[in-house]
Structure 1
Amino acid sequence: MASKTPPRMNPWEDRALNYQFPGHSQVSGDDGQLNKWRKLQDPVIYPGLYSASGFDFMAIMLRIIGRPNPQIELGAVDCSVSLVLCDLERPDHPIVYASDAYCDLTGYSKSEVLGHNCRFLQSPPGLGNTASSKPAAHGKSKPGCTFQMRQAIDARREIQLRVKNYKRNGKSFTNYLSIIPVELDVPGYYYAAGFLVEVD
């Protein structure tokens, strides 16, 4: 006898079908009960299917590439880029997105960096600092770099500079950092896209 229960879905399919955009509630039926399946505008497209982070990476890159009056040149950018996205409207500008390449470069996992300011890279670990703390006075980047970055971020200006950073294993590296402010979905709500690359 055939089972009357539907086949079990893969976890990623289930997450995609049940994805909720921020500010949207679940769809209710005529009787006020939550529907088992959400109504979709396009039955072929499942929001969130290709974005576990909730951020549309391609839209971010298109806005960065198509920005008016670029102040710095990024050159060619592909999906292997080491990228963080920081929320400039929240206190302390926390990281809200980190690419896998960022985690590979720094040695920190996403769970260690999301929700924290990027400044933890300015000091070696083991001096009482973690992804959630401010940099220790010992070994941090030149004060001029930090000041320049802060001024550019506050003014919503692009900046590109070399910064001494530290990986999770304590090894220092020179980070050729590019920071570009970008508006996503809400006009006037800014994020900072940080592009990192290790240079000699």
Structure 2
Amino acid sequence: MSNQTMLLALHQRLIAGDNRANSKIVEAVINPLVAIVVKDVAGLHDRQDAEQMCFDALFDYFLDPAKYNPAQAGLVTYLAAVAKGKARTLRRSQSRRVGHENAFASAAEETEEPPGDADEAAVLDRLDWEAFGGALIKDPGDEVIIALIKQSAHSPAAVAQGLGLAIDAVGLAEAARRIERIRGRARRLAERSEA
């Protein structure tokens, strides 16, 4: 039995109300579906974004399987079209968010003392490094980010450059994510040490 024939039979079982067909459909299509989205939609932050959009497409299909018309396309083709549409929407959203973050970072760099920088440096200075230093540094590059925060030079562009990331939307978004992760850890550790 070909893969398409098997998927068509599973689709018919799903329409008939067999809920066990869901897991068999996921097993049969998820890997090729993710590969298609990763290949066709460039610019997503990571593979997990592509996987999430594929699962979203599958969930939409499972909620209303009658929307799929086997006479128009194969199931994988149908699901890939839905997942790619969702992935393109996500990519646009990520690009807009990075653009807003970069605009804010540029505006903050132009001021003499960006808001909050002194506070973050003070939080890092107050930390008991003997007790909590190891908890703050978890990933490669965290030391670089901490040093930049202490110097109040931790814009996404500066961190991306310090970590050797590309200075593009993906690299800047990764740098912003890493900065926020360090900030969150520092705040939580400072709260624990003061309590």
**Which structure has the larger Rg over C-alpha atoms?**
2
**Which TM-score tier does this pair reach, normalised by the shorter chain?**
under 0.3
**TM-score for the superposition, normalised by structure 2:** 0.26
Please state which structure has a larger fraction of its residues in strand. Answer: 1
